[in-house]
Structure 1
């Protein structure tokens, strides 16, 4: 009796007939009574409506939902405007940086030339001091005569 059938279930456990229940459709609702406007911040009054078939529906009167106003989209997106303004600013900064680097290079060349000029002037002054033909203004004069050096001794 508990032997499996062709469907894998034991015999004797067959299903009963299935009853199908179909829902009864509702009658279409006729337009309801007009709603009373309610001021914001107050509790709306409870409203009862009698339907044509005699049923009474009770509830709060609600205002119909208002769609949000459509915001006009700009012709050009803000991202594109920001990118364009950033490009203009970057171009202005690059021009200033080119001028700044040019100024720094010119200043470095000027300092280099001033150092060379100072070296030439100072070197000329030193050369004039060393090789001047003017007389001695002081110091010790040493006269060197014929001297004889014998066995690492100086005989003057």
Structure 2
């Protein structure tokens, strides 16, 4: 029922029918002839498809896996661990030599500092206690000094 109360009239449309267009038959190209050695003629197999057609062809041999290479007597992991150990030992030896060198260098520098202190101290002592040359300051003869009432008279 429509709100405008007009009767419903169906719309007529033209019906189009499509017919499939057949393809022309494919040109069959003969397969190239492959020379086969006399003792190795492959077997021919035929397969019947569900629609009744028969497909004939050479049977394909199953893919053979490549031969596995012989495993070495010692695993690669063991060789890597051994080489790592040798490298670690070489580094440790180098570190021991390095620490020995640093300790020797430290001792040498310490000895140089002590030697410089001894030489400089000796030079200072010679300068202080030498009697020849000019004497700076005032020389007081203590024996002649007279001390009266906490006063020094020289």
TM-score, length basis structure 1? 0.52
Q: Is the 8 A contact 2:46 2:55 kept in 1?
A: yes
Shifted more, 55-64 versus 117-126: the winner is 55-64
Q: Greater relative contact order: 1 or 2 (C-alpha under 8 angstroms, separation 6 or more)?
A: 1
| Corresponding position of 1:58 | 55
CA distance in 2, matches of 1:63, 1:76: 36
| Corresponding position of 1:97 | 95
| Corresponding position of 2:46 | 49
State the Cα distance separating 1:132 from its structure 2 match: 0.7
TM-score, length basis structure 2? 0.53
Where structure 1 has 5 or more consecutive residues not aligned to the other structure, the ranges are 1-33, 37-46
Q: How many residues align structurally? A: 106
RMSD, matched Cα: 3.6
Q: Is the 8 A contact 1:50 1:57 kept in 2?
A: yes
State the Cα distance separating 1:57 from its structure 2 match: 4.4
CA distance in 2, matches of 1:57, 1:92: 74
CA distance in 2, matches of 1:143, 1:102: 56
State the Cα distance separating 1:97 from its structure 2 match: 1.2
| Corresponding position of 1:111 | 109
Q: Is the 8 A contact 2:47 2:56 kept in 1?
A: no
Where structure 2 has 5 or more consecutive residues not aligned to the other structure, the ranges are 1-40
